[in-house]
Structure 1
Amino acid sequence: MKDLFSDNSALYQQARPSYSAEIIEQILNYVPEKGLAWDCGAGSGQFTSWLAPDFQQVLATDLSAAQLAQAPQVSNVRYLQAAAEESGLPDCSADLVTVAQAIHWFDFDTFYAEVKRVLKPQGCLAVIGYGLIEAEDPQLQQLIQHLYKNTLNGYWDAERRYIDECYQSIPFPFEELSVSDVQLNYCWSGRQLLDYFQTWSGLKHYIHLTGGNPLADLSAFFQRMPEQQYQVQFPVLLRIGR
């Protein structure tokens, strides 16, 4: 598993989208017992926080100690720096394993072997992600598309393609359960959007390799109306298996 997000982990915690009650409800429909959940690749706890109210215990693991340090402290959540393949959990102990916006970085075979080891017989794996941000403003949407597909072309890690393919191309050796379409909706300022773009791994690679500013056009666009708020959406990627 790659660690691309330890640098500026505070910004990641602040600027990345959260999740929603609709997502957690779809997952919990398939989880008969709620003793222990393992949130793998938990980062700064964006999805962990949604699990804590419904489970007696939550284990949240991530390769990045810097990311985990940004996570909220909750009484029934234990944070552990660990690779995705090494939960440290006993066999058949977890009712639910979740991975939010991280599975594309994993070694699938070793991670899935660990999931199958720790899940109870009726336990579930839920893989959650979100696709490319979409803006209702046509000019902003065009600028985002140009940044993603043109400016940063060649600077994304190869694993990014799994998100572009809506997680449908990842191996998924489980009995797949049905889910409904969901999206995340936000009203963000230009500053919030620029902060979000700065968490992109492809953008970080671009700056490191070229020294250029890939956000210049977007910054100029937002400066025209600094107080403007923009309606944006993220398509949710969700697969649940038993």
Structure 2
Amino acid sequence: MKDLFSTQAKQYAAFRPVYPEALYTFILQHVKEKGAAWDCATGNGQVAQVLATHFERVCATDISQQQLDHAAPAHNIVYAISAAEQTTFAPHQFDLITVGQALHWFDLDRFYAEANRVGKPGALLAIWGYALLYIAPGIDEAITDFYENTVGPYWDHARRLVENQYATLPFPFERIAAPPLNIEVTWTLEHLSGYFSSWSATQKFIKDKGYDPVPAFIERLAPLWGQGEHLVKFPVFMLAGKISNAGARA
């Protein structure tokens, strides 16, 4: 199991973008019963906290205790350490299973089998991610250079799946077409800096080179950024489908 986010769990909780309300609206309209949901690879619990306002019970799992330490508690959320591919959940108990920005780290065959095992017949499996942000042409060019050339060699190969927006991944479920979505946030340059620091590639760069490349990059970016805040957009992509439990493990 790859754990590339425990080191920067605090930055991850503070600076990662928040998913739009439209994403949850789409998901919830395809869920008939709202008894139990499993948020797999929950990280700091961002998705679990929203689901907790709609479901009687939410199970939120992650392989990183440091990430879970930064998750906000709720009376109907149970946080637990667990791999995506093998859980202790009873069969056929979840009405919804969600995975936000994490599927590319999984053993797909084993995770899909586990989703079939623990999901109810007809439950929704909703998986999504977000691509590289964009702001304005000059700023975008600088960010792309930092992404590809400065920390580029330190991205795990699984990142390519995100760049391809999961288009090459198998998805053996009754598919539901998702609408075009974007994350839209208003950030200061300081917040953008914190977001870059949360990247796994940035942390690998620091470990290898012995220094943080973000401050120097932010200094170069500052004249292009100017004063105040900017609207930052992240394209969201999604795989959504119904679980049939065909071939599920007992």
**TM norm structure 2:** 0.92
Counterpart of 1:45, as a letter, is G
Counterpart of 2:161, as a letter, is Y
**1:190 Cα deviation from its structure 2 partner:** 0.6
Counterpart of 1:189, as a letter, is T
Q: Which residue of 1 aligns with 2:104?
A: 104
Q: Which residue of 1 aligns with 2:63?
A: 63
CA distance in structure 2 between the aligned counterparts of 1:197 and 1:181, rounded to whole angstroms: 25
**1:218 Cα deviation from its structure 2 partner:** 2.4
**1:210 Cα deviation from its structure 2 partner:** 2.0
Counterpart of 2:106, as a letter, is F
Aligned residue runs from structure 1 range 196-207, under 5 A: 196-207=195-206
**1:223 Cα deviation from its structure 2 partner:** 7.0
Is the 2:138–2:224 contact (alpha carbons within 8 Å) kept by the matching residues of 1? no
Is the 2:20–2:184 contact (alpha carbons within 8 Å) kept by the matching residues of 1? no
Q: Which residue of 2 aligns with 1:178?
A: 177
CA distance in structure 2 between the aligned counterparts of 1:117 and 1:238, rounded to whole angstroms: 22
Q: Which residue of 2 aligns with 1:141?
A: 140
Aligned residue runs from structure 1 range 153-192, under 5 A: 153-192=152-191
**1:224 Cα deviation from its structure 2 partner:** 8.0
CA distance in structure 2 between the aligned counterparts of 1:6 and 1:212, rounded to whole angstroms: 19
Deviates more, 1:65-74 or 1:80-89: 80-89
Q: Which residue of 1 aligns with 2:8?
A: 8
Counterpart of 2:39, as a letter, is D
Q: Which residue of 2 aligns with 1:88?
A: 88
Q: Deviations over 1:84-121 (max 9, x none)?
A: 12232111111010001111101111111100001111
Structure-2 change in CA distance of 1:2 and 1:32 (3 Å): same
Aligned positions, number: 241
**1:226 Cα deviation from its structure 2 partner:** 7.2
Structure-2 change in CA distance of 1:196 and 1:235 (3 Å): same
Q: Deviations over 1:120-145 (max 9, x none)?
A: 11101100211111112x22111101
CA distance in structure 2 between the aligned counterparts of 1:185 and 1:88, rounded to whole angstroms: 36
Paired-residue identity, %: 39
Q: Deviations over 1:16-71 (max 9, x none)?
A: 01112100111111111110000000000111112111100000000001100100
CA distance in structure 2 between the aligned counterparts of 1:228 and 1:141, rounded to whole angstroms: 17
Deviates more, 1:7-16 or 1:224-233: 224-233
CA distance in structure 2 between the aligned counterparts of 1:238 and 1:20, rounded to whole angstroms: 13
CA distance in structure 1 between the aligned counterparts of 2:111 and 2:212, rounded to whole angstroms: 36
Q: Which residue of 2 aligns with 1:51?
A: 51
Over the aligned positions, Cα root-mean-square deviation in angstroms equals 1.5
Q: Which residue of 1 aligns with 2:248?
A: none
Is the 2:202–2:212 contact (alpha carbons within 8 Å) kept by the matching residues of 1? no
**TM norm structure 1:** 0.95
CA distance in structure 2 between the aligned counterparts of 1:171 and 1:180, rounded to whole angstroms: 20
Counterpart of 1:145, as a letter, is T
**1:152 Cα deviation from its structure 2 partner:** 2.0
Is the 1:143–1:218 contact (alpha carbons within 8 Å) kept by the matching residues of 2? no
Runs of 4+ in 1 over 3 A off after TM superposition: 223-227
**1:212 Cα deviation from its structure 2 partner:** 4.3
Counterpart of 1:88, as a letter, is T
SS at match of 1:115: helix
SS at match of 1:140: helix
Counterpart of 2:165, as a letter, is C
CA distance in structure 2 between the aligned counterparts of 1:12 and 1:52, rounded to whole angstroms: 21
Structure 2's unaligned 5+ residue stretches are 243-250
